[in-house]
């Protein structure tokens, strides 16, 4: 599994344009082959964290290179984020306790 951790701070003035685009990216990601899940969180200090899971490197790369996603990435760098950090990780081990 490939996990992407995307940490960012959104410019306050970007919210109105960002929200519909983020919703579209969420919809698009869910439709991609190999998609497992994604969740976003916002901390009290305004930092946002999105965790995205794909089955493998190939399906992750397809998402990363999708033309609409590439356009959204360019818009994010230019207009939406005051700062961001992307980490792409291979899952080496996983343990879990299922909900009962």
Kindly give the confidence (pLDDT) of every residue in the chain, 100 residues in length, as a single tens digit, with 9 standing for 90 and above: 999 999 999 999 998 999 999 999 999 999 999 999 999 999 999 999 999 999 999 999 999 999 999 999 999 999 999 999 999 999 999 999 989 8
> 0.85 cut: is pTM over it?
yes
Is 19 a domain residue?
yes
Q: Residue 75: how many CA atoms within 13 Å on its side-chain side?
A: 15
For residue 44, the model assigns a pLDDT of 95
Domain CATH number, residue 77:
3.30.70.100
**Domain-located, residue 62:** yes
Tell whether 97 is covered by a domain: no
Q: Tell me, yes or no, whether 99 lies in a domain.
A: no
Considering its fold, how many domains does the chain have in total? Answer: 1
Domain extent at residue 25: 2-90
Q: Nearest CA to 29 among 58, 69, 57, 1?
A: 69
Please report the pLDDT score of residue 66 as a whole number: 97
């Amino acid at each position: 599994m490939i996990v992407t951790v995307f940490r960012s701070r959104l410019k306050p003035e970007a919210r109105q344009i960002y929200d519909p685009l983020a919703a579209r990216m969420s919809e698009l990601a869910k439709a991609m082959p190999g998609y497992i899940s994604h969740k976003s969180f916002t901390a009290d200090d305004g930092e946002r964290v999105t965790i995205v899971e794909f089955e493998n490197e190939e399906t992750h790369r397809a998402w990363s290179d999708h033309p609409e996603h590439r356009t959204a990435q360019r818009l994010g760098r230019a207009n939406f984020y005051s700062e961001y950090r992307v980490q792409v990780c291979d899952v080496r081990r996983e343990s879990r306790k299922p909900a009962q």
